[in-house]
Amino acid sequence: MTQKIAFVINPNAGVKKKIDIIEFIKTKFSKHIQYDLIVWKNKDDFESVKQDILSGNYSIVVACGGDGTVNQVASVIVHTNMALGILPLGSGNGLARSNGIPLNLEKALQVIEKENIRQIDGATINSHPFFCTAGVGFDALIATEFAASTKRGFITYFKTTLKEFFNYTPQQYKITVDGKSIETKAFLITIANAGQWGNDVYIAPEAKLNDGILNVSILKPFSLMAIPMIGIKLFSKKIHTSTLLQSEKGKEIDVEFKGQLPVHYDGEPMMVSENISVSVMPLALKMVC
């Protein structure tokens, strides 16, 4: 039996922020399970939320928000006995989708009540934990632009992608996977623990959350004529069959490049100079799914 559950609520998250999520939980969640509500009020200050999580003797901590909220909460409870639950309120909801968590909020609450827990891998990129995908290149640029946008949702993401595509120049990279090096020009490089970025867009369809391995998807530069086929393959889980995609697998990945480039981890952007270093964390996170 669960000791206690914490709901970490990001009131500014994603596309469903018009919902009074606190009232929703109070109304819909089981009256037989003890829980606390922790509101992440200041987006630039997660430390107080972290301390509340660590001091509360919780067995499950539910991230109520988008991929950024999920990453923050998961990063606190990784390597602990606490399990991550998700109430998906974001635009992409990559980790929720990858774990079969319904986007319908009432059904997502029912998943939490059932407490079906399994362990999944995580990873770090330059010491930042991530649990879905991380990368450098075009997707990281879009993550940076999307984070700065006042509007959320798939339409905003699509418009941002379209706007940036025609001005984007693929970069030269040296990619080292478990000691094996590749030098190539790439449109983007995604290091995947889960198969998708979010919105059921699969950049690494063969990735598994609990195999102790990270999948590296290297998308080569392509022509305008190739865009429709790439789009179809991304949404149909077949991008790994494209001649434009090079797939590698490993536990330790280093990517070197010139200058400073945008990088993302679970959609959270950061600027990095000259290289990224990624390591897998096998079965590091408990998940309610």
146-190 confidence digits (pLDDT tens): 777 767 666 776 777 778 888 899 999 999 999 999 999 999 999
Q: How far is CA 11 from CA 1, 52, 198, 280, in A?
A: 29, 17, 21, 31
**Spatial contact of 4 and 58, defined as CB atoms under 8 Å apart:** yes
pLDDT tier for residue 1 given thresholds of 50, 70 and 90:
very low
Q: What is the pLDDT of residue 147?
A: 74
Looking at the structure, tell me whether residues 100 and 217 fall in a common domain: no
Give the position of tokens 């086929």: 229
| First vs last C-alpha separation in the chain | 17
Total tally of structural domains belonging to the chain: 2
Tell me the residue range of the domain where 270 lies: 128-282
Looking at the fold, whether 102 and 226 belong to one and the same domain comes out as no
Looking at 89, 115, 141, which one is the last position of a domain? 115
SS3 (DSSP) at 153: coil
Tokens of 186: 């790439």
Is residue 287 situated within a structural domain?
A: no
- Quick one: how far is CA 125 from the chain centroid? 12
pLDDT at 2: 53
Mean pLDDT, the chain, integer: 93
What is the average per-residue pLDDT within 207-216? 98
pLDDT score for 41: 86
125, 131, 156, 149: which is closest to 262 by C-alpha?
125
Residue 14: pLDDT band by 50, 70, 90 thresholds? low
Residues 10 and 55 placed together within one structural domain of the fold:
yes
- Cα dist from 76 to 9, 80, 140, 282, whole Å: 15, 9, 23, 16
Point out the domain boundary residue: 66, 90, 115. 115
- CA 184 to CA 190: how far, in whole Å? 14
Q: Within this chain, do residues 237 and 205 fall inside the same structural domain, yes or no?
A: yes
Tell me the pLDDT band of 228, cut-offs 50, 70 and 90. very high
SS3 of 239-253 = HHHCCCEEEEEECEE
What pLDDT is recorded for position 91? 84
**What are the tens digits of pLDDT across the range 54-100?**
999 999 999 999 999 999 999 999 999 999 999 999 988 999 999 99
Q: Are 69 and 150 part of one and the same domain?
A: no
Please tell me the pTM assigned to this model: 0.92
* pLDDT at residue number 66: 92
Q: Which band of pLDDT confidence, cut at 50, 70 and 90, is reported for residue 42? A: confident
Q: Is residue 52 part of a domain?
A: yes
Helix-then-strand count for the chain, H and E: 8, 16
Average pLDDT over residues 101-105: 96
Q: What is the mean pLDDT of residues 124-140?
A: 97
Asked which of 19-28, 175-184, 204-213 is least confident by mean pLDDT, the reply is 19-28
In the predicted model, is pLDDT for residue 35 greater than 80? yes
